Structure 1
């Protein structure tokens, strides 16, 4: 019987923390919350810290961004107390229909607030541009400082409008759940 020689098995170390490096985190471009991975700080966070927008407006921006991520990239972060939906089948078709519903939500926001608002939301939240860069794109013939101030004011107003829009949508959904649906035919 011949002895089998085995090669030593090398263990691959796995990273415990997939967050930013120490050097990058020191630049304070990241925000961290307990139980969630570190995220890059956006202009919405800066506006909230400065008191230019309310917490509801920041939540509305986060909600819009989550819907956009799910609609176009196909992934969604759920909270720790998330209860899964048992009404759908969790197959490929249901997944695509749910994503199409998210695209419909984005269309409703665009229809309510306008195409220009969607352009500004995408620049702020998806492209993660600063007010200076957005101002240079939107107002190329105006000075950089004035363009930055104009965009900051427009974005603050837009986020408050988005917050109000989501508040109205939630109110309508609650009203529909509480309302009695009439029977379309006579019983008896």
Structure 2
């Protein structure tokens, strides 16, 4: 076993070595090269955006008509009813969690889901029959495909040129104003049919 050191020679150097902070080599920060997040040429070619000055923005045609005073709040509400029915009927999903569910809400099953989806498809069909195919096509372009007025004009009235956007806007406003009354009548027809069927099953009330 080595003998313990009795000399303090070199102790000062050792203390200074441990007490002196080491020089930390700093690494230069090089910012990452900015990526190009601009839309792809394919995305730019889609018709659901329009140019506002030098900015390309996505437009909500219903809100644009409402802000311009071309349609009222009831037409905006009817547009929401229609797109909810359309998406549920064609794709099988519906966003109903925006509002608090009632306390007596009963969770459905696969059968009630199918019935509800069928009811939505029936309402869309009745609206189409009442307003006509031309109105249905414009509702699809405006609400389901979310096309801009300019894109709709290119498809519907290409010969109108620069005036086509105003024509498409006026047509959409007219369809939305008619949509509210159409929904009221369709729901009344469905309610009357249910009452008639109930009377056939239960018989006339005493």
**Could you say which TM-score interval applies, normalised by the shorter chain?**
0.5 to 0.7
Aligned to 1:164: 181
How far has the Cα of 1:176 moved from its partner? 7.7
CA distance in 1 between partners of 2:116 and 2:62 (Å): 27
Q: Tell me the alpha carbon deviations over residues 132-168 of structure 1, each in whole angstroms, 9 at most, x when there is no partner.
A: 100000012221x221111111111100000111233
Go from structure 1 to structure 2 and tell me whether the alpha carbon gap of 1:105 and 1:85 turns closer, same or farther (over 3 Å shift). Answer: farther
CA distance in 2 between partners of 1:139 and 1:178 (Å): 44
Aligned to 1:76: 94
Go from structure 1 to structure 2 and tell me whether the alpha carbon gap of 1:44 and 1:146 turns closer, same or farther (over 3 Å shift). Answer: same
Aligned to 2:153: 135
Structure 1 window deviating more from structure 2 (76-85 vs 157-166): it is 76-85
TM-score norm. by structure 2 comes to 0.61
TM-score norm. by structure 1 comes to 0.66
Give runs of ≥4 in structure 1 deviating > 4 Å.
170-179
Structure 1 window deviating more from structure 2 (157-166 vs 74-83): it is 74-83
Instruction: Kindly report the root-mean-square deviation, in angstroms, between the aligned alpha carbons of the 2 structures.
Output: 3.0
Aligned to 2:84: 66
Q: Given the alignment, which residue of 122, 141, 155 partners 1:123?
A: 141
Q: Tell me the alpha carbon deviations over residues 63-100 of structure 1, each in whole angstroms, 9 at most, x when there is no partner.
A: 100111111121112242333754xx723233223212
The structure having more radius of gyration, on CA atoms, is: 2
Checking the alignment, whether the CA contact within 8 Å between 2:127 and 2:186 is kept in structure 1 is no
Go from structure 1 to structure 2 and tell me whether the alpha carbon gap of 1:146 and 1:80 turns closer, same or farther (over 3 Å shift). Answer: same
Consecutive unaligned residues of structure 2, counting only runs of 5 or more, are 1-54
| Matched position secondary structure for 1:80 | coil
| Matched position secondary structure for 1:52 | coil
Consecutive unaligned residues of structure 1, counting only runs of 5 or more, are 1-26, 30-39
